[in-house]
Amino acid sequence: MSADRRQASDHLERLLRQHTQEELLARLTPRTGEPSTKVPGGSHLSDDAVERRWQLLPDAAASREQLLDAHTVHQKDCYKHNIENFIGTVKVPVGLAGPLRVNGLFAQGDYYVPLATTEAALIASYSRGCQLLSEAGGCTAVLLNEGVSRAPGFAFASLREVGLFVLWATEHIDDFRREAEATTRHGKLRDLRITVEGNYVFLNFAFTTGDASGQNMVTLATEAICDYIERNSPIHARHHFVEANLSGDKKASAQSFLLVRGKKVSAEATLPAELIAKRLHTTPERMAQFWRMSAMGGVLSGTMGLHGHCANGLAALYLACGQDVACVAESAVGVTRFEVLDDSALYASVTLPNVMVGTVGGGTGLPSQRACLEILGLAGPGKAQALAEVCAGLCLAGELSISGAICSGDFSRAHRLLARGKATKTNEEPPAAAAEQK
């Protein structure tokens, strides 16, 4: 990473105005004294363990009152499989966006989508987009593919050994499947991709994971395969790692558009010009112009994917519904597309190749998160594919709303009114919906 010479120079000058060079160097020198007391208790949620953790924090009575309220104390045992070093809970506001009509292979109906966020204007924007889609007959949403990968890496002495190992590995896929599926009732080893780089071999295993998001499931299954390889391969690796960073786990990558990680979903809708004018206060032509310019902006900035703010809707839904929020890094890699049709209607679509969601396991069983899934009607087994299609519809709604707000000039005004609570005129009303806060 680089910085402009002037920027670097200005930064150093600001530091030296506050401290001498010797003081700055002293601040950066490692301190060899004993560190503070280790946080006690690990995964224990006993009253004693929680109390000992709070005793580490001086003058924390006010914080304790907010984080460890009576309701949290009453429910604390339900968190024991989801947290370590527990001290309480954080309350995040939850709002409803909708109705969102989804006509999918798995998701069917009008959904009120719970979104957890601290960003003013976000839910107003997504809710407007949901209503727009619903008035147009809903969005069509399709689950296109699914699978969760884990990619162990093996280091050998030479390319010759690599070739022999790859030959052996391709002949033992059934053995790998047996070992992996012995660790889980729901995971199935679907495929294997092999990547060679010098004396390194990456084995990218693709699993289906039922209704679970499946990160832990595929890790344990892959570890069983690695153990089998270590015991049985006639060509022994110098070393190996259960994940060698080729799977795309929790990061945006070009690989997202070539494979699938989680669930690949696409949603589309055709919106009449009259409805665009009524609800977004703009035209299909202007929205298509904006899309073309934003596409060029994405190319020039080197973004992975092409969209406005899919991460906003996914993060809010993930937080509300007990998903792994860090997976937004890969789940939000997608493509939005707008086109004006011959009848002047707007065709809009969103495709997301890496939606990591589940309706069982992980955080989905926690009280608040399960309540949000139940609001959607998507709690428990048999619902994960529908949840992925709802995610695609939600992102499409958000893309339409933010684009419309920018095209109509409502984007800045919405944030002035909803995020700051200020108006330039005393009688100014909030716009029908707001674009998300950047």
183 DSSP assignment: T
255-275, pLDDT tens digit by residue? 888 889 999 999 999 999 999
Residues 194, 52: one domain?
no
Percentage of the chain with pLDDT > 70?
Answer: 94
Q: Which two tokens stand for residue 119?
A: 């960003």
Confidence at residue 73, expressed as pLDDT on a 0 to 100 scale: 95
Q: Which of 82-91, 377-386, 405-414 has the weakest average pLDDT? A: 405-414
* Beta carbons within 10 angstroms of residue 227's beta carbon: 12
CATH number at residue 208: 3.30.70.420
Displacement of CA 256 from its chain's centroid (Å):
13
DSSP-based three-state secondary structure for 274: helix
pLDDT at 410 over 80: no
- The answer to whether residue 25 sits within a structural domain is no
292-308, pLDDT tens digit by residue? 999 999 999 999 999 99
- Tell me how far apart the alpha carbons of residues 168 and 352 are, in angstroms, rounded to a whole number: 35
Q: Which of 223, 285, 324, 339 is catalytic?
A: 324
Displacement of CA 192 from its chain's centroid (Å):
25
Domain count, the chain: 3
Residues 103, 179: one domain?
no
- The answer to whether residue 432 sits within a structural domain is no
pLDDT at 437 over 50: no
Residues 104, 49: one domain?
no
196-249, pLDDT tens digit by residue? 999 999 999 999 999 999 999 999 999 999 999 999 999 999 999 999 999 999
Residues 156, 83: one domain?
no
Confidence at residue 436, expressed as pLDDT on a 0 to 100 scale: 41
59-105, pLDDT tens digit by residue? 999 999 999 999 999 999 999 999 999 999 999 999 999 999 999 99
- Region 171-193: what's the mean pLDDT? 96
Give which of 254, 387, 262, 393 is closest to 327, Cα–Cα.
Answer: 262
Is 324 among the residues known to form the active site? yes
Residues 54, 179: one domain?
no
Q: Which two tokens stand for residue 400?
A: 């339409």
Is 23 among the residues known to form the active site? no
Q: Which of 240, 307, 309, 415 is catalytic?
A: 415
User: What separation in angstroms does the CA of 165 have from each of 199, 232, 247?
Assistant: 11, 11, 20
Q: Which of 119, 146, 249, 436 is catalytic?
A: 119
Confidence at residue 417, expressed as pLDDT on a 0 to 100 scale: 64
- Tell me how far apart the alpha carbons of residues 53 and 385 are, in angstroms, rounded to a whole number: 40
Supply the DSSP string of 352-409, one letter for each residue.
Answer: EEEE---SBSGGGGSHHHHHHHHHHT--STT-HHHHHHHHHHHHHHHHHHHHHHHHHT
pTM: 0.91
- The answer to whether residue 351 sits within a structural domain is yes
Q: Which of 214-228, 276-290, 416-430 has the weakest average pLDDT? A: 416-430
CATH number at residue 269: 3.90.770.10
Residues 215, 110: one domain?
no
126-155, pLDDT tens digit by residue? 999 999 999 999 999 999 999 999 999 999
Is 243 among the residues known to form the active site? no
314 neighbors 262 (Cβ within 8 angstroms): no
pLDDT at 343 over 50: yes
Confidence at residue 4, expressed as pLDDT on a 0 to 100 scale: 86
Confidence at residue 204, expressed as pLDDT on a 0 to 100 scale: 97
Residues 396, 267: one domain?
yes
Q: Which two tokens stand for residue 253?
A: 């990558």
- State which residues form the domain around 220: 152-241
Residues 412, 289: one domain?
yes
5-46, pLDDT tens digit by residue? 899 999 999 999 999 999 999 999 999 999 999 999 888 999
Confidence at residue 202, expressed as pLDDT on a 0 to 100 scale: 98
